[in-house]
Amino acid sequence: MLTAAHCIAWGSGALKLRMLLGDHDLHSNGVSGHARSRIVRRVRKIKMHASYNTTDTDFDLALIEMNRPVTFRRNVRPVCLPEAGQEFAGREAVVAGWGRTSWNGLSSSKLKNVIVKIISNHECKYELINGD
């Protein structure tokens, strides 16, 4: 599983995580219609990007190896990763997660998504520094 390193960079306790695949509501019982929609897996291993550090947003990636394989289906699919060197600035992307929906706000129990414009790393760093 691909995730943001900052979401699991809190030590060995991350190895006790349970991963929920195929569900959009963390408070549901995992039933969608009459078929079970939720897959639960435990962590076998976590691999953070070698250049990740907590002081900036560069290389904020981690891979989680699950304790068992997953069979893909309609609501559980692999992520598409770009080839090295591809440029995406100016294009649109979908960002999804259960994170906070406002500054210092509460996390959402339902999966949210938003379409965002991709900016270059240079522009991102400029905005972080200047807060514009």
pTM of the model: 0.73
Instruction: Give 13: exposed, middle or buried? Use CB within 10 Å, 0-12, 13-18, 19+.
Output: exposed
Assigned fold of 1-70:
Thrombin, subunit H (2.40.10)
Q: Which amino acid does the sequence have at 116?
A: V
Q: Where are the domains of the chain?
A: 1-70, 88-132
Give pLDDT tens digits for 104-121.
888 888 889 999 999 998
Instruction: Give 52: exposed, middle or buried? Use CB within 10 Å, 0-12, 13-18, 19+.
Output: middle
Give pLDDT tens digits for 67-80.
999 999 888 888 88
Instruction: Give 76: exposed, middle or buried? Use CB within 10 Å, 0-12, 13-18, 19+.
Output: middle
How many whole angstroms separate alpha carbon 31 and alpha carbon 20?
13
**pLDDT band at 13; cut points 50, 70, 90:** confident
What is the chain's Cα-based Rg?
17
The closest of 36, 41, 7 to 23, measured between CA atoms, is 36
